[in-house]
Structure 1
Amino acid sequence: MDFKMHEFSHAVVAKVSCGTNHKMNDLRCQYDSYIRLLKELNLEIIEVDVASSSSDVVVLEDLAVVCHGIALLLKPKPGSPEEATKAIKNVLQNNLDQTIIQISDPDAKLLGSDVLFTGREFFVGICDTSNEAGASAVAEAFPEFPCTPIKVSKGYDHIKKYITVAGHDILCVGASKEAQEMLKRMEREATFCYQTLTVPEDEAANCLFVNETLIHRAIEEIPNSFKVFCEKIDFARRSICFSELAKLSYGLSAHCLLVRKPLTINNTQ
């Protein structure tokens, strides 16, 4: 089947408990806006209740890498609730008809925030949270796509904090030295060529490209980069406030798993 790159049918998100303090209410408001925007982009939302009071349960991207009907389940970070992994597996397998693959190598380390899929190939950031064995697990799970490990400079964060997909064959990258060095390493190893959109603020680099629409942070949070998006992007885009959610993660991509559910073919006459 010919899949359109970056076209999704569902978004898996975590339920957020309603807080009583002002800070929690602000987070809840931003999260509701985030989910509402995904719905407006023709995504069906599946909320997962992981039965935990931990604030980082909303960060789902580290639990699985999902691509073209296959879900590679990842080992949760120390301290992460086991309920989250079990709930995600159940939803991906039983609700969204994804083929589940689990990492068998006991030495493999891999987080979804270290895995960048461009629509044509995978890059895996090699750092404290993901290693070469983890990159090999991605390559084995998705053999139809090239998979390249990229060394992340010591002391720096996940690859998706600095580089994400901003359109078909377009990479959005921060202007910092760290982000640009990471981009150069990717360009040297890449199988395909990409256009790059450089944004002044690194926190603007984490975007979502969903169903032909680019989602980025609001002008109040990234004023200089917002101007770049306005000037350089000539297709549909939406902006969203993300300041409270950003305190729990590295960006927009962290709080959902985007999935394309395989079409069910009815062969009955």
Structure 2
Amino acid sequence: MAGSFGHYTHAVVRALPPTLGEEEGEEGAGGGPGGAPPDPAKAQRQLGVLAGVLRQRLALQVLALPPAPGGLRALLLEDLAVVQGGAALLTRPWRAARRHELGSLRAVLEELNLRVLTVTDEGATLDGSDVLFTGREFFVGISPWTNHRGAEAVADAFRDFTVSTVPVGGGGHLKSFCSMAAPDTIAIGSSDAARRALRAMEQLSDHAYKRLSVPDDPAGNCLFARPGGAAGGVLVHRSPEEFPDSLQTFQKVPGVTLVPAALSEAAKVGAALSSCCLLLHRRPQP
């Protein structure tokens, strides 16, 4: 399975309404109480550029779900599903108001021939941004957004893989400070919460992953893909204007093409690069 890691055909994103109102901050870079609200026009531009990167640099077919209530926060599609191989698990987001979005997402996933599963345990909470798939196994962050019963739902859905739980400190999601920067390479921020999570993952896994430590936690979330099955792959990372100290670290990843993408405005409501899209591989028609 690790050999096919990063092979995708489609990206699902959320279309935004023509106008965006101001929203309260949430967890994430710049999203704390009292922080500056997102600039709607700038957010639209940045998200348009990201969609262009998905189409042109990652060679993906981009499918846009219609706008949903919640403004910028509604674009956090990763919280709604965990996708691996031919299966997609619709989550049970901690924010109950977001659960009405699952129906339209289910329809798109089924059109792409994925086997769609759901979390049936009413005591479970599960945000997809707390789920890291490494190509070999799953790590599920136990956070304010995801509990142990949510992690059990991931284990039930993906029984061919080891699923381990990782305590997440700092009030954010697991993937707010980490992601896969390349096969077998974990990008990780430098905060105490990030370091503790990485130590837990290393202790829980039988595999020795490479570590790519970046100075800034939000920069630890990036997107790796292999357009057309290319060997080296493409790594989409946060822009050097946002996190200049992390760029030099990404340049150390061998064989990948680096593509910067700014996300400063959506980050004010907790968005990360991976949370703004669902990357998947369409199953062949039966």
TM-score > 0.5, shorter chain as reference: yes
Measured against aligned partners, the alpha-carbon deviations of 1:115-152 in whole angstroms (never above 9, x if no partner) come to: 10011100001122111111111111011111001122
Instruction: Tell me, in whole angstroms, the C-alpha distance in 2 between the residues paired with 1:86 and 1:49.
Output: 12
Please tell me whether residue 42 in structure 1 is matched to residue 63 in structure 2: no
Cα contact 2:223–2:237 (8 A) shared by 1: yes
Q: Aligned residue pairs: how many?
A: 263
Residues 199-208 or 234-243, more deviating? 234-243
Task: Give the equivalent residue in structure 1 for 2:49.
Answer: 33
Match of residue 171, structure 1, among 186, 193, 197: 186
Cα contact 1:59–1:248 (8 A) shared by 2: no
Task: Give the equivalent residue in structure 2 for 1:16.
Answer: 16
CA gap of 1:159–1:135, structure 2 versus 1, over 3 A, is same
SS at match of 2:125: coil
Measured against aligned partners, the alpha-carbon deviations of 1:30-71 in whole angstroms (never above 9, x if no partner) come to: 010000000011100000014435331111000010111111
Amino acid at match of 2:252: E
Percent of aligned pairs sharing the same letter = 35
State the Cα distance separating 1:20 from its structure 2 match.
7.8
Amino acid at match of 1:238: V
How large is the Cα RMSD of the aligned pairs?
Answer: 2.0
SS at match of 1:183: helix
* Unpaired stretches in structure 1, ≥5 consecutive residues: none
State the Cα distance separating 1:262 from its structure 2 match.
0.9
Please tell me whether residue 67 in structure 1 is matched to residue 75 in structure 2: no
CA gap of 1:2–1:183, structure 2 versus 1, over 3 A, is closer
Match of residue 262, structure 2, among 226, 233, 241: 241
* Unpaired stretches in structure 2, ≥5 consecutive residues: 22-37, 227-232
Amino acid at match of 2:185: I
Please tell me whether residue 116 in structure 1 is matched to residue 140 in structure 2: no
SS at match of 1:225: helix
Please tell me whether residue 89 in structure 1 is matched to residue 106 in structure 2: yes
Give the TM-score normalised by the residue count of structure 1: 0.92
- For residues 1-269 of structure 1, what are the structure 2 equivalents within 5 Å? 4-19=4-19, 23-40=39-56, 41-52=58-69, 54-78=71-95, 80-93=97-110, 95-153=111-169, 155-211=170-226, 212-264=233-285
Give the TM-score normalised by the residue count of structure 2: 0.86
